[in-house]
Amino acid sequence: MKETYMQAQKITNEMSNWFDRALPAYDQNGTPTFLDDKGDLVEGIYLDMPNEVYHGLSALSSSALKTFVSCPARYYRDYLSGVTRKRTLAMTRTFDAGTYGHELCLEPAGFYDRYFRDPIAADHPDALTTVEQIENALIEAGLPAKEGKGEKLARLLRLAPTIDASLVKTIADIDNELARIGASKTESKLDKAVRLIDANPQAEVYDLIVEQTRASHGQMSVTTSAETGKEIVTYGGKLPIDGVVWDDAHRVQKTVRKHKEANLYISNGLPEVAIIARCNITGMMLKVKFDWLRFDDDAVDLKTSAQSVKPEDFRRQIFNLHYDIQQVFYCYVASIAQIHINKFVFVACEYGTADICQPYTLKRNRIIEANNKMHSALIDFKECLATNNWYGYTKEDTTIELI
What domains lie within the chain, and their CATH numbers? 2-85+259-387 (3.90.320.10), 121-211 (no CATH)
Contacts of 137 (CB under 8 A, 6+ apart): 128, 196, 200, 203
Contacts of 310 (CB under 8 A, 6+ apart): 356, 358
The residues facing 293 across adjacent strands are: 270, 299
Q: Which helix (H) or strand (E) holds 243?
A: helix 243-258
pLDDT of residue 10: 43
pLDDT in tens, the chain (403 residues): 434 433 333 444 479 999 999 999 999 999 999 999 999 999 999 999 999 999 999 999 999 999 999 999 999 999 998 765 555 555 555 568 899 999 999 999 999 999 999 999 999 999 999 999 999 999 999 999 999 999 999 999 999 999 998 888 899 999 999 999 999 999 999 999 999 999 999 999 999 999 999 999 999 999 987 666 788 999 999 999 999 999 999 999 999 999 999 999 999 999 999 999 999 999 999 999 999 999 999 999 999 999 999 999 999 999 999 999 999 999 999 999 999 999 999 999 999 999 999 999 999 999 999 999 999 999 999 999 999 999 999 999 999 999 8
Q: How far apart are CA 44 and CA 334, in angstroms?
A: 10
pLDDT of residue 48: 97
pLDDT of residue 167: 87
pLDDT of residue 3: 42
* Secondary-structure percent of the chain, ordered helix, strand, coil, rounded to 5: 45, 15, 35
pLDDT of residue 95: 62
pLDDT of residue 83: 67
Closest by CA position to 111, among listed 271, 259, 220, 260:
271
pTM for this predicted structure: 0.84
Whether the CB-CB separation of 105 and 301 falls below 8 Å is answered with no
**CB under 8 Å, gap of 24 or more: what pairs does 192-199 form?**
192/131, 192/134, 192/135, 192/138, 192/147, 193/128, 193/134, 194/155, 194/158, 195/138, 195/143, 195/147, 195/151, 195/154, 196/128, 196/134, 196/137, 196/138, 196/141, 196/143, 199/138, 199/141, 199/142, 199/143
